[in-house]
Amino acid sequence: MKILIISDSHGSFSGIRKVLSRESDAEMLIHCGDIEGDEGLLARSFAGKEVKIVAGNNDIFCNLDPELTFTLYGRKFFVTHGHRYGISMTPEILLDEAMSRDADIVLYGHTHRPAIIYHQHVTGVNPGSLTFPRQEGRIPSYAVMEIDETGRFDVEIRYL
């Protein structure tokens, strides 16, 4: 299964549109927050496929959960924006929280910088931002995860 992971689009749909076109074979989409009102448009644009969205610190008028957990092929996912766990300062608090929840994978945003972190048995993935990237070069980014029925997964950061 191919999972598209995005975050921090901040009410701009042009980057999302490009990613949806480029990764049209994705079967699931996860948005890690700061969608700022585009959740309906995203669901319609990815119609017939599963969409999961959490609220970020700028989603104050959205009716979205701040976190979610789910299991897919035996892997437990924890999805959050990250701002409640001090992710701008250090990933350790968030990774510890993921471990306390027995999560295998934590997906987060907020920093606008793409990252893949391996910490004990937890893999942390920040897809970066499609709208306001903050990493060197400032290229809009997202992540793609491939997971199979045995729970084996691979994740990579991709750029527009």
Q: Write down all domains in the chain, each with its CATH number in brackets.
A: 2-159 (3.60.21.10)
What pLDDT was estimated at residue 159? 97
What pLDDT was estimated at residue 92? 95
The one-digit pLDDT tens for each residue of the chain (160 residues) are: 999 999 999 988 889 999 999 999 999 999 999 998 888 888 888 888 999 999 999 999 889 999 999 999 999 999 999 999 999 999 999 999 999 999 999 999 999 999 999 999 999 999 999 999 999 999 999 999 999 999 999 999 999 9
pTM reported for the whole predicted model = 0.95
Contact 29, 6 (CB under 8 A): yes
What pLDDT was estimated at residue 121? 93
What pLDDT was estimated at residue 44? 84
DSSP one-letter code for 136: T
What pLDDT was estimated at residue 39? 83
How far apart are the C-alpha atoms of 67 and 138, rounded to whole Å?
Answer: 27
